[in-house]
Chains A and B, each alone.
Chain A
Amino acid sequence: NAGVMQNPRHLVRRRGQEARLRCSPMKGHSHVYWYRQLPEEGLKFMVYLQKENIIDESGMPKERFSAEFPKEGPSILRIQQVVRGDSAAYFCASSRGQGQYGAFFGQGTRLTVV
């Protein structure tokens, strides 16, 4: 049973370009969370999705950031017109449900904006 798969592992973008981060949840998991982590810091919640629905995007900047989890295919976190401050590790986690099920994380995508 494959774990949560994120790609790419590393992504370099120039300022103003778009970044697309992909996350395939574990088999049987319909809940996906995206988190952002800066060096030496904890995980900051960005968005929580279920299939075809955004449940909570309270942690995601209103501009330039968007997320989706289509019926078929991976969840996508999209950052438009990237700026240097977007450089961070972005982690996706999947779960069977909320609460005591726990979340299983991918290895993350390290975005560097140059």
Chain B
Amino acid sequence: TQLLEQSPQFLSIQEGENLTVYCNSSSVFSSLQWYRQEPGEGPVLLVTVVTGGEVKKLKRLTFQFGDARKDSSLHITAAQPGDTGLYLCAGDQTGANNLFFGTGTRLTVIP
């Protein structure tokens, strides 16, 4: 059972465009994290959101945690080629002993 579904699975856009990636679940999470992974490397933690409705900004990236803490979105403004990579969301549930990772969104930004 896949707890976290990400959409779209693949996304190819031109430099300068905006995009939104979604992470959805029917389960409630106590916190949710976003990671970016480049080829041949491990995932790098971008942000952790904890409170329902929380919005966090990291330069051109905006992360939002759904009010019910079941979903999250990542919005990138004016995408750059350096944003290319695999974006993964991961959720933590109270009482669970691992981070559940989403299916991933593979982003390609074309110069």
Contact partners of A98 in chain B: CB under 8 A: 92, 97
- The interface bits of chain A over 8-43 (1 if a CB of B lies within 8 angstroms of the residue's CB, else 0) are 000000000000000000000000010100001111
Decide if B1 is an interface residue (CB 8 Å cutoff). Answer: no
Contact partners of B92 in chain A: CB under 8 A: 98-100
Decide if B31 is an interface residue (CB 8 Å cutoff). Answer: yes
Interface pair A42/B97, CB less than 8 Å apart: no
Interface pair A100/B31, CB less than 8 Å apart: yes
Given contacts A91-B43, A99-B30, A102-B48, contact A55 B97 (CB under 8 A): yes
Decide if A65 is an interface residue (CB 8 Å cutoff). Answer: no
Contact partners of B40 in chain A: CB under 8 A: 107
Contact partners of B88 in chain A: CB under 8 A: 42-43
Q: What's the Cα separation between A99 and B100 when bound, in Å?
A: 11
Decide if B33 is an interface residue (CB 8 Å cutoff). Answer: yes
Interface pair A42/B101, CB less than 8 Å apart: yes
Contact partners of A35 in chain B: CB under 8 A: 101
Given contacts A42-B103, A43-B88, A102-B33, contact A48 B42 (CB under 8 A): no
Contact partners of A33 in chain B: CB under 8 A: 98-99
Q: How many residues of B contact A (CB 8 A)?
A: 24
Contact partners of A58 in chain B: CB under 8 A: 97-98
Q: What's the Cα separation between A58 and B98 when bound, in Å?
A: 10
Q: What's the Cα separation between A100 and B43 when bound, in Å?
A: 16
Q: Which residue of B lies closest to A110 (CB)?
A: B40
Closest chain A CB from B59 CB (angstroms) = 18
25 A-B pairs in the complex with CB atoms less than 8 angstroms apart = A4-B42, A33-B98, A40-B106, A41-B104, A42-B101, A43-B90, A44-B101, A48-B98, A56-B97, A56-B98, A59-B98, A93-B42, A93-B43, A98-B92, A99-B30, A100-B30, A100-B92, A101-B48, A102-B33, A103-B45, A103-B99, A105-B35, A107-B40, A107-B42, A108-B42
Given A98-B92, A100-B30, A101-B48, 10 more contacts at CB 8 Å?
Answer: A41-B104, A42-B88, A42-B104, A43-B90, A99-B31, A99-B92, A100-B48, A102-B45, A105-B42, A105-B44
